[in-house]
Structure 1
Amino acid sequence: MIPNSPISTNRISSDIDALALITEPGRPYTRRAFTPLFLEGRKWLEQAMREAGAVTRVDAAGNLVGTIPGKRPELGTIMLGSHSDTVPDGGRFDGIAGVVVALEVARALRDQGVVLEHTLEVVDFLAEEVSIFGVSCIGSRGMSGTRPAEWLARESDGLTLEQGIAQVGGDVRLPAQRDDIKAFLELHIEQGPVLQDQQLDVGVVTAIAGITRIEIIVDGRADHAGTTPMGSRKDALTTAAWIALGVEELGKALASGAAHFAATVGEFEMSPNAANVVPARVRMLIDARAELRDDMERFVDELDKGVAAIAEKTGVTVSEPRIVSDNPPTPCDAGLLDVLDAACDSAGARHRRMASGAGHDTAWMARITRAAMIFVPCKDGRSHSADEFATTEDIALGAAVLLDAVRALDVKLQETG
């Protein structure tokens, strides 16, 4: 137990351990959306929600929702939660910690005999991770009315996404977008080392970074690797390497400011990919993430200029960088950030404000309501890995922060609407 708090570290630890056992044999921790194991985890969560006093349902978008009616339901809903699906061989805390903490907040209120004025809901969003259909945040996009209609026809092994949503209990024929949610809060492990390195307990997330992916094609010329003189080659790989180094240099320059920025050459394909052939073609995909839109626009502009300069220097043809996808950053609600800061102070949590470089369901919920999130430390920043780890004590302190924030919001939202 946390001193002077109804939050139970034992319950949190037990919940996380129980879900960790629901995994593919020999593959900790793998419980992907739209699989029988995912449904088994959902069944466990549904029972836990009911034991906490919630009425459960699967909404039209396939999200598992536990509802605890407030004294004045007309005031609307305060929602807490995250996701229970994992990446393959992923972590036992990513998403799971946020769902368990939401559940623990509901239990702590029950233990105190507290019934909020607002309705409280605990949510397990469907498929936050990239799913078998190649898309992510399916549940939160559905709840926020931002899931593209064409996604429903996407197929995997003969199953469409529409059918997959039906299999988990959803129904895409029914309306899923909500207009009654007055605030949404999500706890998540940081997935980075900042809190650990700075010996802090909580990160109050200011924004979810925008993600832009950019494709570049380098067209050189295939030649014999042993007979073509070094000065006569049009080596696509060498040119691509210069570009990759330029991306790193530009990314570091933008990351040196106060706002979050990161850029990675995450996909790299070379052909003909033979030991005795000068590389003829390279396709590279850049993943760039920015807290501030101005930083992303500067990155794209400088990348265009840098690629053109490298192509001129090497004499190799390089396509103009093509933006494949472009999602703007999502700022968290300023009022909720103040509430979370105050809740950290009340819980005795050492904290700082910081941006998220990863995407989260919070970004989609922000389209329809006030939304914010907090981070708790994870060991060495490791995530999407079986080595992912967060201490129960850190997670429980984050739960105490959310509990205090929920109680404060229950009052504040009555004043602000």
Structure 2
Amino acid sequence: MKRSRARGASPAAIADAREALRRCDLLAGVSAREGAIERVYLSPEHARANAIVSGWIADAGMSAWQDAAGNARGTYPGATPDAPVLLLGSHLDTVPDAGRYDGILGVMIALAVVARLSARGVRLPFGIEVLGFADEEGARFGRTLLGSCAVAGTWEEGWLELRDDSGITLRDALITFGLDPDAVATAALDPARVVGYLEAHIEQGPLLLDADRPLGVVSGIMGAKRFDLAMDGQAGHAGGVPMRHRRDALLGAAATALAVERVALDEGVVGTVGELRVFPGAANVIPGRAEFSLDVRAATDAHRDRAWEAIRAHALEAAGERRLTFTENLRHVARATSSERRLSEAIEHGIRTATGEERPLELLSKAGHDAMAIASLTSYAMLFVRCGNGGVSHHPDESVTLEDVALAIDAFEAAVLAVADRA
């Protein structure tokens, strides 16, 4: 990783960062997989992580509790009993074979900031609520942002019938976890009592690394759509069916995947085929069905939808050429959002205070975050922390430096205090 030109972190900040990273390491061991990190919604690992984080919340001088959706939450009182609240947080769940900082580091940074305020006996014009969201990734039930949607008040009753790969419904999983499926709505906050939401998160990309900057401010988050797609043809003997007679479903899916790449490059969006399954799935059988996913994202919803229509046209063309049937199912929609200028200015102030940089780097997030869901409740701003190893994320090689995390804690605290000064 390149050395930053930024001002160095103080010894106190280094100590706080070392503890934050120690906690990330500890949570990395709370996993369903030996030798890898996997912690999904409403699992035994989720319960263990919440119990550990609740202890750290209490250590920071907060009241710790778990809401009806399974989010770990902590409350730090404001200067008056009726004070509104500023929300700080990120998520505690992971993708399969995850890194140890995606989401988790943001929660640890928030806790470090509140611990500092508590140690000094500081009371602000608002209370602070730290949230460790239970399900941002959607790895178990296929629907992302479940934890933050519950807090935002946009939870949908129909989600209770979602099923995981074992056929367990979300309703039954909540009950097994010890929660009441009919009480999830009680996790929601009153927007009239919320000042805003600040989230610290690793960048999950290489732009800060390339710019030799430890921190950045997020201008907004790309809108996303996620689809389950399928091509249906006809299975047959790999030796017996002549090439020109074949209705190979996998070839239709492969042609569509290549079209995703072309459209994404031409349109300036991002598109990913991350899952592919063929049936019946034997080496000597022509695939009769291919199921695959599509994730497409863009800076605006209109741009995203235009790219999807282009991809869809290529898929229909590929199906027609091979006498296949193409089907689509929209699994997930997340609208594009923009950070609120007042809160972004607080983040920018925090970065300048911590690093001495005159003009903090502004980035558009291509990755989704809990801030997208919380945007339905209140305004948001985000702080990005530089990633190492080329910016890789959702991978065991995910990395950050002690110095960058120390600067992030200082910047996040300064941002919270800047929001208080303007309250």
How would you bin the TM-score normalised by the shorter chain?
A: 0.7 to 0.9
The residue aligned with 1:397 is 407
- Structure 2 CA distance for aligned equivalents of residues 152 and 159 of structure 1: 10
Is the CA contact (8 Å cut-off) linking 1:349 and 1:397 kept in structure 2?
Answer: no
Partner SS state of residue 71, structure 1: coil
1:287-302 equivalences under 5 Å are 287-302=295-310
Is the CA contact (8 Å cut-off) linking 1:54 and 1:66 kept in structure 2?
Answer: yes
Structure 1 stretch displaced more, 124-133 or 367-376: 124-133
Amino acid at match of 1:178: L
> Which of residues 323, 342, 345 in structure 2 aligns to 1:338?
345
- Please state how far the C-alpha of 1:409 moved relative to its aligned partner: 0.5
1:116-265 equivalences under 5 Å are 116-130=124-138, 132-154=140-162, 161-162=170-171, 164-165=173-174, 171=180, 172-173=182-183, 175-179=186-190, 180-222=193-235, 224-226=237-239, 228-255=241-268, 261-265=269-273
Alignment RMSD: 2.9
> Which of residues 102, 106, 109 in structure 1 aligns to 2:114?
106
- Please state how far the C-alpha of 1:194 moved relative to its aligned partner: 2.2
Partner SS state of residue 275, structure 2: strand
Distance 1:53 1:234, change over 3 A: closer
Extract unaligned runs of 5+ from structure 2.
1-7
The residue aligned with 2:64 is 56
Amino acid at match of 1:264: T
- Please state how far the C-alpha of 1:104 moved relative to its aligned partner: 0.4
Distance 1:339 1:276, change over 3 A: same
- Structure 1 CA distance for aligned equivalents of residues 80 and 365 of structure 2: 34
- Please state how far the C-alpha of 1:266 moved relative to its aligned partner: 2.1
- Please state how far the C-alpha of 1:191 moved relative to its aligned partner: 1.9
Deviation sequence 1:75-133 (CA, Å, 0-9, x none): 41011111223333322212210111001001122344422121112121222232544
* Percent pairwise identity: 34
Amino acid at match of 1:387: D
- Structure 2 CA distance for aligned equivalents of residues 243 and 132 of structure 1: 26
- Please state how far the C-alpha of 1:140 moved relative to its aligned partner: 1.2
Distance 1:272 1:168, change over 3 A: closer
Distance 1:222 1:107, change over 3 A: closer
Partner SS state of residue 410, structure 1: helix
- Please state how far the C-alpha of 1:336 moved relative to its aligned partner: 1.6
- Please state how far the C-alpha of 1:29 moved relative to its aligned partner: 2.8
Give the count of matched residue pairs.
407
Structure 1 stretch displaced more, 185-194 or 15-24: 15-24
- Structure 2 CA distance for aligned equivalents of residues 333 and 393 of structure 1: 28
Is the CA contact (8 Å cut-off) linking 1:207 and 1:356 kept in structure 2?
Answer: yes
Partner SS state of residue 393, structure 2: coil
1:399-414 equivalences under 5 Å are 399-412=409-422, 414=423
Distance 1:276 1:394, change over 3 A: same
Distance 1:332 1:168, change over 3 A: farther
Amino acid at match of 2:186: P
- Structure 1 CA distance for aligned equivalents of residues 288 and 170 of structure 2: 38
1:329 aligns with 2:336: yes
Partner SS state of residue 282, structure 1: strand
- Normalising by the residue count of structure 2, what TM-score does the alignment of the two structures yield? 0.85
Amino acid at match of 2:371: T
- Structure 1 CA distance for aligned equivalents of residues 21 and 246 of structure 2: 60
- Normalising by the residue count of structure 1, what TM-score does the alignment of the two structures yield? 0.86
- Structure 2 CA distance for aligned equivalents of residues 300 and 360 of structure 1: 21
Is the CA contact (8 Å cut-off) linking 2:233 and 2:288 kept in structure 1?
Answer: yes
Is the CA contact (8 Å cut-off) linking 1:6 and 1:108 kept in structure 2?
Answer: no
- Structure 1 CA distance for aligned equivalents of residues 167 and 256 of structure 2: 40
Distance 1:309 1:394, change over 3 A: same
Distance 1:274 1:73, change over 3 A: same
- Structure 2 CA distance for aligned equivalents of residues 377 and 263 of structure 1: 23
Distance 1:230 1:389, change over 3 A: same
The residue aligned with 2:377 is 368
Is the CA contact (8 Å cut-off) linking 2:102 and 2:394 kept in structure 1?
Answer: yes
